[in-house]
Structure 1
Amino acid sequence: MADLNFELVTPEKLVRSETAYMVVVPGTEGDFGVLAGHAPFMSTVRNGELAIYRSENGEPERIAIEGGFAEVSEKGLTVLAEKAEA
């Protein structure tokens, strides 16, 4: 399976721009996982942790985020967070 293009952006800076196997986002309606090829989707984001999986069976890297939006498009996943801390 192809890698997912992922960007994490705050008002201050571009925090991450990389590829990943899967990213789990804390949406306001519940957590959702995004893989490459995911259908277009947009959601508000609640305070919580992004889980970034580099490989299918790997341990996730976690980044705390506060509020914002997530957009899945044909280009990949973009998370626009109010704050982000590794």
Structure 2
Amino acid sequence: MADLRFELVTPERQVMAADVHMVVVPGTEGEFGVMAGHAPFMTTLRDGELAVYRTAGATPERITVGGGFAEVGDRGLTVLAERAEA
């Protein structure tokens, strides 16, 4: 499967922009995983951790996020977080 384009942005800076295998996002309605080809949607974030899997079966990189939005679209996954720290 093709890679997912992932971008994580805060008001201060772009935290990450990479092609990855999967990202698990802490949505307000629960955690959800996004891979390439995911159906488009938008949701708000709760405070929690993003798990970024660069390749299938890899150990995830964890990034703590607080507040904001996640949008899945034709171009991939964009997370607009109020704050983020690795």
Task: Name the structure 1 match of 2:11.
Answer: 11
Identity %: 69
Q: TM-score scaled by structure 1?
A: 0.98
SS at match of 2:2: coil
Distance 2:56 2:31 in 1: 18
Moved over 6 A (4+): none
Q: Is the aligned partner of 1:48 residue 2:48?
A: yes
1:12-57 alpha-carbon deviations (Å, 9 max, x no partner): 1111110100000000000000000101010000000000001111
Instruction: Give me the whole-angstrom Cα distance separating, in 2, the residues matched to 1:4 and 1:80.
Output: 16
Amino acid at match of 2:26: P
| Superposed displacement of residue 67, structure 1 | 0.5
Secondary structure of 2:31's partner?
Answer: strand
Who is 1:75 aligned against? 75
Q: How many residues align?
A: 86
Q: What's the TM-score once normalised by structure 2's chain length?
A: 0.98
Unpaired runs of 5+ in structure 1? none
